[in-house]
Amino acid sequence: MRAAFSNYVAIGDSFTEGVGDPYPDGGGFRGWADLFAHRAAETWPELAYANLAIRGRLFNRIVDEQIVPAIKQGPDLVSFAAGGNDALRPGFNPTQLSTRAHEVVRLLKAADCEVMLFTCADVTCHLPGMKMLRKRFDATNDAYRRVAARHDAILIDLWADDGFADPRLWSPDRLHLNSLGHQRVAATVCKALDIEPDPAWLAPLPTNGRVRPELSAPAWAGRHLAPWIKRRLTGKSSGDSVEPKRPKLMQVK
């Protein structure tokens, strides 16, 4: 049984911000970190939670913008998920990412934080042409496995979960998890921290129905790939005008 935590800060990009899992009332994105924090607060009533993640951020910018503000808040639990956006860009260097990931975890551990690291869920079976990038994701995930082992960090190994091969866990853009996908991540995180997940998060998916038509390749390319390419060509990011949704630690309950 793990000890209770009182101050949790989530660091990262769209995955941790919760893109793909909008709140029902339209008040922004929820995502696995929000789900986990609220579930954990049922076991740790004094839990405070901050989320500094911003969509579109590359690894170095996440480190430069989020690590110090996180440490200054005195967390005892930090989740760090970064590098997926880098693996999609030209010039990706997994060795540099691994070296800096070691430095990040050393800093967090020196600040008396328990650290959660993530491998990415496998998107290569959903995105046309992505199988050629599989080696990049393998290299990124291997780096996080080594960092976690070296620094005794908690590893959430989503790549090893074959459940994410189901397209019903992914948003129409095929790159971000949907509400069901974020629930599955939240359940995995809860289990790693000895928190009982919400049973609904692991309920079997419906066997009826079909893959939504917006997941067809032509529709996906027009609605999602073309805008993504345009942002790359113009040097823009989906997170350029986005601020962290929960920048300061606040009580969950």
Least confident interval from 37-41, 64-68, 129-133, 146-150: 129-133
- 234 within a domain of the structure (yes/no): yes
Least confident interval from 21-25, 119-123, 161-165, 240-244: 240-244
pLDDT at 30: 97
pLDDT digits (tens, 9 = 90+) for 186-202: 999 999 999 999 999 99
- 93 within a domain of the structure (yes/no): yes
Q: How many domains, the chain?
A: 1
pLDDT at 100: 97
Q: How far is residue 59's CA from residue 32's CA, in Å, rounded to a whole number?
A: 20
pLDDT at 241: 73
- 188 within a domain of the structure (yes/no): yes
pLDDT(60) > 90: yes
CB atoms within 10 A of CB 159: 19
pLDDT digits (tens, 9 = 90+) for 112-139: 999 999 999 988 777 666 667 888 999 9
Structural domain including 164 reads 7-200+210-251
Q: How far is residue 24's CA from residue 112's CA, in Å, rounded to a whole number?
A: 36
Q: Please give the C-alpha separations between residue 109 and each of 67, 103, 116, 222, in angstroms, as whole numbers.
A: 12, 10, 11, 44
Residues above pLDDT 70, as percent of the chain:
85
Cβ pair 76, 114 in contact under 8 A: yes
Q: Averaged over 21-37, what is the pLDDT?
A: 93
pLDDT(226) > 70: no
The mean pLDDT value of the chain amounts to: 88
- 1 within a domain of the structure (yes/no): no
Q: Averaged over 61-84, what is the pLDDT?
A: 97
User: Which phi and psi (to 5°) does residue 22 adopt?
Assistant: -75, 145
Phi/psi-derived region of residue 177, left when phi > 0, alpha when psi is between -120 and 50, beta in every other case: beta
Q: How far is residue 16's CA from residue 82's CA, in Å, rounded to a whole number?
A: 9
Q: How far is residue 7's CA from residue 92's CA, in Å, rounded to a whole number?
A: 33
Q: Given pLDDT bands bounded at 50, 70 and 90, which one contains residue 46? A: very high
Return the CATH number at 69: 3.40.50.1110
Structure tokens at 52: 């500094």
SS3 143: helix
- 117 within a domain of the structure (yes/no): yes
pTM, two decimal places: 0.89
SS3 185: helix
31: number of CA atoms within 13 Å, CB side? 23
CB atoms within 10 A of CB 33: 29
Least confident interval from 3-7, 128-132, 228-232: 228-232
- 55 within a domain of the structure (yes/no): yes
Taking alpha carbons only, the member of 58, 70, 30 closest to residue 180 is 30
Q: Given pLDDT bands bounded at 50, 70 and 90, which one contains residue 242? A: confident
- 2 within a domain of the structure (yes/no): no
pLDDT(230) > 90: no
- 205 within a domain of the structure (yes/no): no
pLDDT at 174: 80
